[in-house]
């Protein structure tokens, strides 16, 4: 049988609890659909710093490299915030992206009907919003040379933003491919009126665009995009952009849906391998109380099924189960209007499993 290996990195804060519910969904998928998964846990993030002295231990990386996919909870917390760079959870995150060649981060910003009211945007503005941000994940100012030096006016700090044609081309092509499976509209976001990397970016986009005549392409400046996301969110289909702009815009897009506790993400490289994680963070303030919302992580499993394994039947089963449970009125505290009616993490996981 074709056993899929999944590396499971619970991480910090609510990470392990929400991942626990996602694992129940994996098990149920085996029963229902006959697929087989082999899961193995490893330390990552703050807990790895505590136990192994590094946020990304070698054995964790090796486990991921041998796996078909990675399921990640969340990393980070105040405990490690003031550590030196090598001993911070986010350094592990950047390290794992680079080491696994995960050059593309895909974040659907979907509005869940039952959560429309949770958005700070007016419902009529939000109506029909369903966009995906495709963010370049292993280049740009995140990974360029950084250093301090003595300048003419005292100490100075330097970050370098670098992109080569090939790096831009692969992410842009992926974004066009995704647009072809959806609304066939692509917004490429840059700051070509200021940055050289953005001018290179735009050249490559225009060149690749020729291969996708069916896709309607627009170039949007990053400052303007930050505005248009607020003004006309539903007019976007796929947004593609570089690492730093993607960090900012994908968070803005996620927040405007009002559904941030529900959003999943995929980080992909060449081939079908991918790392899947909820968009929300480790929420250390509510960790261990059994009240966190496992839906984003459960939907990350559905995304894994679609993008890495091609198990569309099982993905659909999960997505519909989530929808049915929500439609039946069940809510965790973060999305409940009446907090006194809120159910806990495991109750939500159990309901979804039962609805599959």
For the annotated binding site for NAD(+), the residues are: 77-90
113 counts as binding ligand IPM under rule CB under 6 A: no
- Give yes or no: 66 in active site: no
Q: Which part of the chain contacts ligand IPM (CB under 6 A), choosing from 90-98, 152-160, 197-205, 303-311?
A: 90-98
Distance in Å, CB of 74 to its own copies, minimum: 14
Name the residue with the smallest CB distance to ligand IPM. Answer: 90
Buried b / exposed e along 276-302 (16+ C-beta atoms within 10 A): bbbbbbbbbebbeeebbbbbbbbbbbb
247 counts as binding ligand IPM under rule CB under 6 A: yes
286 counts as binding its own copies under rule CB under 8 A: no
- Give yes or no: 327 in active site: no
Q: What do you get for the CA distance between the two ends of the chain, in Å?
A: 23
194 counts as binding ligand IPM under rule CB under 6 A: yes
Distance in Å, CB of 225 to its own copies, minimum: 8
Q: Which part of the chain contacts its own copies (CB under 8 A), choosing from 48-56, 61-69, 248-256, 334-342?
A: 248-256
Which H/E stretch holds residue 70?
A: strand 69-74
167 counts as binding its own copies under rule CB under 8 A: yes
Q: Which two tokens stand for residue 244?
A: 């730093």
Q: Is 298 left (phi over 0), alpha (psi -120 to 50) or beta?
A: alpha
Binding residues for Mg(2+) are 223, 247, 251
Hey, which residues between 209 and 228 contact ligand IPM (CB under 6 A)? 223
- Give yes or no: 251 in active site: yes
The C-alpha angle with vertex 83 and arms to 77 and 85, in degrees rounded to 5, equals 105
Distance in Å, CB of 308 to its own copies, minimum: 26
Residue (of 238, 197, 195) closest to 217 by Cα position? 238
- Choice between 171 and 249, CB closer to its own copies: 249
Q: Is residue 245 a contact partner of residue 222, using CB atoms and an 8 Å limit?
A: yes
334 counts as binding its own copies under rule CB under 8 A: no
**Which residue in this structure is represented by tokens 């192994």?**
52
The number of residues making up the chain comes to: 356
Q: Is residue 128 a contact partner of residue 161, using CB atoms and an 8 Å limit?
A: no
347 counts as binding its own copies under rule CB under 8 A: no
* CA quadruple 92, 94, 96, 98: dihedral sign: negative
- Give yes or no: 191 in active site: yes
Q: Is residue 27 a contact partner of residue 91, using CB atoms and an 8 Å limit?
A: no
Cα–Cα distance measured from residue 340 to residue 337, given in angstroms and rounded to the nearest whole number: 9
3-state secondary structure of 178: helix
- Choice between 68 and 167, CB closer to its own copies: 167
**Residue of the chain from 114, 255, 336, 351 that contacts its own copies (CB under 8 A):** 255
Binding residues for its own copies, per CB under 8 A?
88, 90, 94, 120-122, 125, 141-142, 144, 146-148, 151, 153-167, 191, 193-197, 199-201, 222-224, 226-227, 230-231, 244-245, 247-252, 254-256, 260
Q: Catalytic residue numbers?
A: 142, 191, 223, 247, 251
């Amino acid at each position: 049988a074709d056993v899929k290996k999944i590396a499971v990195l619970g991480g910090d804060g609510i990470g392990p609890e929400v991942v626990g519910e996602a694992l129940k969904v994996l098990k149920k998928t085996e029963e229902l659909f006959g697929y087989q998964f082999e899961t193995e846990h490893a330390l990552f993030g703050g807990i790895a710093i505590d136990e192994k002295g590094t946020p990304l231990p070698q054995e964790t990386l090796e486990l991921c490299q041998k796996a078909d996919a990675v399921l990640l909870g969340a990393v980070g917390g105040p405990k490690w915030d003031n550590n030196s760079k090598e001993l911070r959870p986010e350094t592990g995150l950047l390290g794992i992206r680079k080491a696994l060649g995960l050059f593309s981060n895909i974040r659907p910003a979907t509005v869940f009907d039952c959560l429309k009211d949770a958005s700070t945007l007016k419902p009529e503005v939000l109506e029909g919003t369903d966009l995906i941000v495709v963010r370049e994940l292993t280049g740009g100012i995140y990974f360029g040379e950084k250093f301090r030096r003595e300048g003419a006016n005292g100490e100075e700090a330097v970050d370098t933003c670098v992109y080569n044609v090939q790096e831009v081309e692969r992410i842009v092509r992926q974004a066009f491919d995704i647009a072809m499976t959806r609304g066939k509209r692509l917004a490429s976001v840059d700051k070509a009126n200021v940055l050289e990397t953005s001018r290179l970016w735009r050249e490559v986009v225009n060149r690749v665009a020729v291969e996708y005549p069916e896709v309607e392409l627009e170039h949007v400046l990053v400052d303007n995009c930050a505005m248009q996301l607020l003004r006309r969110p539903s007019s976007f289909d796929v947004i593609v952009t570089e690492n730093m702009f993607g960090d900012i815009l994908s968070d803005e897009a996620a927040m405007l849906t009002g559904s941030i506790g529900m959003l999943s993400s995929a980080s992909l490289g060449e081939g079908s391998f991918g790392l899947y994680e909820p968009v929300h963070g480790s929420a250390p303030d509510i960790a261990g109380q059994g009240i966190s919302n496992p839906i984003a992580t459960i939907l990350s499993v559905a995304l894994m099924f679609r993008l890495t394994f091609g198990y569309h039947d099982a993905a659909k089963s999960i997505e519909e189960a989530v929808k049915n449970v929500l439609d039946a009125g069940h809510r965790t505290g973060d999305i409940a209007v009446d907090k006194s009616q809120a159910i806990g993490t495991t109750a939500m996981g159990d309901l979804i499993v039962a609805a599959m």
